[in-house]
Amino acid sequence: MFLDEAQVYVASGRGGDGAVHFRREKYVPRGGPDGGDGGKGGDVVLEVVPTLNTLAVFRHRSKYRAENGARGGSSNKTGKDGASVMVQVPPGTLVRNEADGALLADLIQPGQRLVVCRGGRAGRGNARFATSRNQAPRMAERGEPGEERRLNLELRLIADIGIVGAPNAGKSTLLAGVTNARPKIAAYPFTTLEPNLGVAELDDDLTLVLADIPGLIEGAHDGVGLGTNFLRHIERTRVLIHLVDGAAADPVVDFSQVNSELALFDTDLEHKPQVVAVNKIDLPEVAARWPDLEAEFRRRGYRPRAISALARTGLRELLYAAAEALQQAPPPTQAEEVPVYRPEPEPTAFQVRRDPDGSWRVSGKAIERAAKMTYWEEPEAVRRFQRLLVRLGVEEALRQAGAKAGETVRIGENELEWQD
């Protein structure tokens, strides 16, 4: 099954906790602190794999979670880093953050990687807090929590040439005639329900990647018929083969209607080079009207080719014409939508508000992270957190907001009692 849109949930691993430990060996007095650091949490990484051409794998699996880092040990042993998760995607994948729709990356190049969730930082062991004034610290850090987010993935096929036309024009038959692709072919409109890719080898040095796009009808740019689901796949192609059904009631009207839908969807598609091919020339009625069709298309500035996708006549000449147009086409341009840097609030910023139950809520990236990394069962670690509240200005902000002794202050998942 072809799938060009998917939603996935990704979460990186939590950092391993630092250890509180003191060296205890016979004949080694005052061994001192030797609690090791935890291991770093695993990342979640998207990687472009050129052999993939669909997002169908996410139909069966939509959640990816990296491994947590291991806890530090005695004798300054560092915990094992958590294993990262590599999520494979096809070339041409747009990655967006579901929460705000922001574009994170446009993954095109094979082997390209994007870290979408970074693993949590490892907690430090008590050996790291030893100083000349505090030679036996009974404190350490918990590992930093990992990140989590939901992503929207959108695939836009990367092909040299896109085959467009009205329904039942013979696009799939043409693709099957010039490549090893085996799309579904039948004598009714909208046989093709999904784009198909194929590779045509003209000679040892010349190969073309072609994409057969499902038929376009009036209103496709607004979602009518198969609509915009597949129009976007044409955007990455550099040349279009516009296949016209020579047996249609009015082939020229069909041709104009398809071009109108392309222009209404994206004005840049209107200016893509087109190679016009009139199909079904093997039928007597089409051969009879060919001179008039050729004259009309030449009047519009095109040099049409007469072909029969079913009888496979004129196909090689058509591909060479498309290859020539491809050589003369402008080089691929950078994607219109590129990841944009959006400045984030200062990491030390915080907000103080009063909850409906009368308690106080302190929210902020740095202060909430510090709360999660604190060993609350160790008095020394708690005193360190209190000093952090003073340094960041949280204590003063609470005092000015009207916090009174005995009231509850919530920071993340932790509840503290305010004492002024």
The string of DSSP letters for 265-305 reads H-GGGGGS-EEEEEE-TTSHHHHHHHHHHHHHHHHTT---E
Q: Can you give the CATH number for the domain in which 12 is found?
A: 2.70.210.12
Q: What is the mean pLDDT of residues 348-370?
A: 89
Residue 113 resides in a domain = yes
Cα separation of 150 and 124, whole Å? 30
Query: 155, 177, 210 — which closes off a domain?
Result: 155
Q: Which domain holds residue 403?
A: 351-417
Instruction: Looking at the structure, tell me whether residues 371 and 389 fall in a common domain.
Output: yes
Q: At residue 331, does pLDDT exceed 70?
A: no
Query: 328, 362, 395 — which closes off a domain?
Result: 328
Quote the number of domains for the chain: 3
pLDDT tens-digit map of 264-301: 877 777 788 899 999 999 999 999 999 999 999 999 99
pLDDT tens-digit map of 66-79: 999 999 999 999 99
Residue 346 resides in a domain = no
Query: 131, 155, 179 — which closes off a domain?
Result: 155
Instruction: Looking at the structure, tell me whether residues 207 and 302 fall in a common domain.
Output: yes
Q: Can you give the CATH number for the domain in which 294 is found?
A: 3.40.50.300
Instruction: Looking at the structure, tell me whether residues 149 and 170 fall in a common domain.
Output: no
Give the residue with greater pLDDT, 203 vs 112.
112
Question: What pLDDT, on a 0 to 100 scale, did the predictor assign at position 344?
Answer: 55
Cα separation of 258 and 294, whole Å? 18
Residue 187 resides in a domain = yes
Residue 344 resides in a domain = no
Cα separation of 104 and 108, whole Å? 13
Cα separation of 271 and 157, whole Å? 19
pLDDT tens-digit map of 123-179: 999 999 998 888 889 889 999 999 999 999 988 766 788 888 888 788 888 888 887
Q: At residue 231, does pLDDT exceed 70?
A: no
pTM here is 0.67
Average model confidence (pLDDT) for the chain?
A: 83
Instruction: Looking at the structure, tell me whether residues 151 and 184 fall in a common domain.
Output: no
Cα separation of 17 and 57, whole Å? 35
Q: State the DSSP code for 170.
A: S
Written as one letter, the residue type at 219 is G
Residue-wise DSSP of 67-87: PPPPPP-STTPPPPPPPPEEE
284-299 and 251-265 helices cross at what angle (nearest 10)?
Answer: 50
Instruction: Looking at the structure, tell me whether residues 1 and 105 fall in a common domain.
Output: yes
Instruction: Looking at the structure, tell me whether residues 81 and 100 fall in a common domain.
Output: yes
Cα separation of 127 and 33, whole Å? 5
Question: What pLDDT, on a 0 to 100 scale, did the predictor assign at position 187?
Answer: 47
